[in-house]
């Protein structure tokens, strides 16, 4: 169940055999290689050098290690860029970004697609049936470094083509976007340009469609690689390594061409980049937040076939955040177990050895440049032994509770924040956190996925309710809980004629009459049902005959419920959100467990796993059976696996 990312091309060949031996001894079985090695595979245009890669794979295979090959398209060589500078990505400022790091291409480029076809076909022909090669990773972290929306001539041409398919006539496009406003009407699709570089705000409808187009273009590019791999490498899995807290393309759509999703888990790096207060960042700086990784494990597991891998797991300090602390002792092991408890098939570490040259020399590996184990390497060695001792955990059952991640919600609220700090990622995180603090499993789903079998479904925000999402909402018996801005837009970014929540009025007879966004420091007191707290950032005025469950001091409804749905028209403070969700869980008859912060519980059938992210030991009051790992009192930065009947 352990893996590692290895770059044989970075090291003397006479180190490879020893590296492979050490990997095996550590309990590692999978090694991902080659995803940035195009310049070594094809040093001259059309001249392939497979010798080194043949030997690297053979060396790993000799130790019984299984190989995952990365297609190298995230790092095209200099000769390719010199021959075809038109493949370079043009950013919103109109400038092309150049050679010298990675991700220097646009997926819309016909030339780059042809070059991709060539190198992926060559690689798949050579290694597609190799017995040590068990699977493929396509490219590397699609969208990284802001490369989803690009603005070159081929992106523009692709956008026009996409629009003409979607709208059929330019009149329909003008109508959908409301182009009569500010004389933005086009006479033909040829006149359409990507929305960037305007004097003032671009049309939000154009921005949303450009985002959709860019997302589709990337999905198409991924599918193109998958098709080649399936043809030349049957019976091998195909995956991609997605990122955390990254919403810039529709991951559900892109993953349709994959067998399962993988993701790259950098718990500490993400703390620095997430919109938390400085106080919270300081609290989590060397453990990370207890819901950051868990959320993504659940997301990527549910996205495709109930399977996922961690392709890259943080082993020590990274190099790319503003500050890069070492993980608190115990956390590298804990994160590994956490991924496994949430169902990861493999946890693969980035990277085997810290590299003493080039861009990532300050990034830790499982081993140091002097070839000794790093602190993270020691923890992974222990993890490997423990995995062998504990054995497989029971299968993961469907949870009673689901939360819906809507990529378009991220796009729409970025295009039109309306309040500068209305941050969809944070909203989603706060709702997930408020739920998980009740000691329950929470499945993470994307819109349109079946909601059958859930008792409670939380939708923090879903501005556009697409037909598939509506169907799933109508077909479930779950009580639905919608958050602010849900149903506030039609497909073309327009406000529904009946006012928000538009189509959700089928569940809730209510209208959002007006919206206030609130600057930092403003908080409106909210109370009801014995609860009290505050709303900040966002407050909607609800017009409804439904009795209010939470209201402002002035009596303005903030949350209402019908028989099968609730609507929450405000951004609530985390403590109130947590207690409110507790109430909803009780109403839905879902058992919850009171635990101190920041302790988390994951259930796998009759087995429970406790993760203690906090500074204090935690004694589990409800563990009734045998301990498979650890003890009833769980020290800080530690875990326990036990049989349970709470």
Active site residues: 141, 312
User: 478 to 517, contacts with ligand GAL by CB under 6 A?
Assistant: none
Phi-psi region of 229 (alpha: psi -120 to 50; beta: other; left: phi over 0): alpha
Least distance in Å: CB of 35 to ligand GAL? 7
Given the complex with ligand GAL, which of 246 and 618 has the nearer CB atom?
A: 246
**Least distance (Å) from ligand GAL to the CB of residue 543?**
46
The residue (of 360 and 527) whose beta carbon lies closer to ligand GAL is: 360
Q: Tell me the DSSP string of 281-332.
A: HHHHTTT--TTHHHHHHHHHHHHTTT-EEEEEE--S--SSSSS-PPPPTTHH
Residue 350: CB minimum distance to ligand GAL, A: 5
Neighbours of 397 (CB within 10 A): 12
Q: Give CA–CA dist 621/646, Å, rounded.
A: 9
8 Å CB contact between 425 and 276: no
Minimum distance from CB of 243 to ligand GAL (Å)?
A: 7
- Measured distance CA(298)–CA(527) in Å, rounded: 32
Whole-number Cα distances in Å, 190 to 24, 156, 181? 58, 10, 20
Residue ranges in 552-581 that form contacts with ligand GAL under rule CB under 6 A: none
Q: What CA dihedral angle connects 85, 88, 90 and 96, to 10 degrees?
A: -60
Q: Where is 79: in which H helix or E strand?
A: helix 78-83
Q: How far apart are CA 526 and CA 534, in angstroms?
A: 5
Nearer Cβ to ligand GAL (141/386): 141
CB of 331 to ligand GAL, least distance (A): 16
Q: Tokens 């496994």, residue? A: 340
Closest approach of Cβ 322 to ligand GAL, in Å? 14
Footprint (CB under 6 A) of ligand GAL, residues 338-367? 350, 360, 363
- 255 versus 441: smaller Cβ distance to ligand GAL: 255
Q: Which is nearer to ligand GAL, 359 or 372 (CB)?
A: 359
355-380 burial: b if 16+ Cβ within 10 Å, else e: beeeeeeebbbbbbeeeebbbbbbbb
Interface residue with ligand GAL among 73, 106, 137, 140 (CB under 6 A) is: 140
Q: Which of residues 282-341 bind ligand GAL (CB under 6 A)?
A: 312, 318, 320
Residues 229-268 interacting with ligand GAL (rule: CB under 6 A): 264, 266
Q: Does 272 interact with ligand GAL (rule: CB under 6 A)? A: no
For residue 344, the SS3 value is coil
Q: Please, is 562 exposed, middle or buried when counting C-beta atoms within 10 Å of its C-beta (0-12, 13-18, 19+)?
A: middle
Q: Which of 139, 141, 155, 540 binds ligand GAL (CB under 6 A)?
A: 141
- Size of the residue set binding ligand GAL (CB under 6 A): 10
Q: Is 475 exposed, middle or buried (0-12, 13-18, 19+ CB in 10 A)?
A: exposed
At closest approach, how far in Å is the CB of 117 from ligand GAL?
23
Shortest distance, position 86 Cβ to ligand GAL, whole Å: 25
Nearer to ligand GAL, 136 or 571 (CB): 136
Structure tokens at 409: 């919600």
208-227 residues in contact with ligand GAL (CB under 6 A) are none
Nearest residue (CB) to ligand GAL, 115 versus 264: 264
The residue among 236 and 240 lying less far from ligand GAL, judged by its C-beta, is 240
Sort strands 524-528 and 531-544 into parallel, antiparallel or unpaired.
Answer: antiparallel
Using DSSP, state whether 226 is helix, strand or coil: helix
Binding region for ligand GAL (CB under 6 A): 140-141, 264, 266, 312, 318, 320, 350, 360, 363
């Amino acid at each position: 169940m352990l893996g590692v990312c290895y770059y044989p091309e970075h090291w003397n060949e006479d180190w490879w055999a020893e590296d492979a031996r050490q990997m095996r001894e550590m309990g590692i079985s999978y090694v991902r290689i080659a995803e940035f090695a195009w310049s070594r595979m094809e040093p001259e245009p059309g001249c392939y050098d497979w010798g080194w890669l043949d030997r690297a794979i053979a060396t790993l295979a000799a130790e019984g290690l299984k190989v995952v090959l990365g297609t190298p398209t995230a790092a095209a060589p200099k000769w390719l860029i010199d021959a075809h500078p038109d493949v370079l990505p043009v950013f919103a400022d109109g400038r092309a970004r150049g050679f010298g790091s990675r991700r220097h291409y646009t997926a819309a480029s016909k030339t780059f697609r042809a070059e991709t076809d060539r190198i992926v076909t060559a690689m798949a022909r050579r290694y597609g049936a190799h017995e040590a090669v068990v699977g493929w990773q396509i490219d590397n972290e699609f969208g990284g470094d802001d490369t989803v929306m690009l603005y070159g001539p081929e992106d523009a041409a692709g956008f026009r083509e996409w629009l003409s398919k979607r709208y059929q006539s330019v009149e329909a496009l003008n109508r959908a976007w409301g182009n009569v406003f500010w004389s933005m009407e086009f006479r033909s699709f040829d006149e359409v340009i990507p929305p960037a570089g305007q004097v003032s705000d671009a049309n939000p409808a154009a921005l949303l469609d450009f985002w959709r187009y860019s997302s589709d273009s990337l999905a198409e590019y991924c599918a193109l690689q998958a098709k080649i791999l399936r043809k030349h490498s049957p019976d091998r899995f195909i995956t991609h390594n997605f990122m955390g807290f990254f919403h810039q393309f529709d991951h559900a759509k892109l993953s349709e061409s994959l067998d399962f999703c993988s993701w790259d888990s950098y718990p500490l790096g993400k703390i620095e980049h997430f919109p938390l207060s400085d106080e919270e960042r300081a609290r989590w700086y060397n453990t990370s937040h207890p819901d950051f990784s868990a959320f993504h494990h659940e997301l990527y597991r549910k996205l495709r076939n109930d399977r996922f891998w961690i392709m890259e797991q943080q082993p020590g300090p990274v190099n790319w955040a503003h500050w890069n602390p070492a993980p608190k002792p115990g956390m590298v092991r804990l994160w590994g177990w956490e991924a496994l408890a949430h169902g990861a098939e493999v946890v693969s570490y980035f990277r085997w050895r810290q590299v003493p040259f080039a861009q990532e020399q300050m990034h830790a590996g499982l081993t140091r440049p002097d070839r000794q184990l790093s602190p993270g390497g020691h923890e992974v060695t222990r993890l490997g032994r423990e995995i062998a001792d504990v054995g497989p955990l029971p299968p993961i059952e469907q949870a009673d509770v689901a939360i819906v991640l809507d990529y378009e919600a991220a796009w729409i609220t970025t295009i039109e924040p309306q309040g500068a700090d209305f941050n969809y990622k944070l909203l989603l995180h706060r709702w997930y956190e408020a739920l998980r603090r009740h000691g329950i499993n929470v499945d993470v789903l994307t819109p349109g996925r079946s909601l059958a079998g859930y008792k409670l479904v939380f939708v923090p925000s879903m501005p556009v309710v697409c037909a598939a999402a509506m169907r799933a909402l109508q077909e479930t018996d779950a009580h639905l809980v919608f958050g602010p801005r849900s149903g506030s837009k039609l497909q073309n970014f327009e406000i529904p004629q009946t006012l928000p929540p538009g189509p959700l009025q089928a569940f809730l007879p209510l209208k959002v009459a007006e919206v206030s966004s609130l600057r930092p420091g403003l908080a409106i007191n909210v109370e009801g049902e014995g609860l009290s707290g505050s709303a900040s950032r966002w407050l909607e005025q609800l017009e409804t005959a439904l009795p209010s469950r939470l209201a402002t001091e002035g009596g303005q409804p903030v949350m209402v419920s019908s028989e099968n749905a609730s609507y929450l028209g405000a951004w609530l403070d985390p403590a109130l959100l947590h207690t409110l969700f507790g109430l909803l869980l009780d109403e839905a008859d879902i058992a919850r467990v009171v635990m101190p912060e920041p302790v988390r519980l994951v259930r796998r059938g009759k087995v429970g796993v406790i993760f203690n992210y906090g500074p204090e030991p935690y004694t589990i009051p409800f563990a009734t059976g045998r301990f498979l790992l650890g003890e009833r009192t769980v020290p800080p930065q530690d875990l326990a696996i036990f049989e349970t009947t709470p």
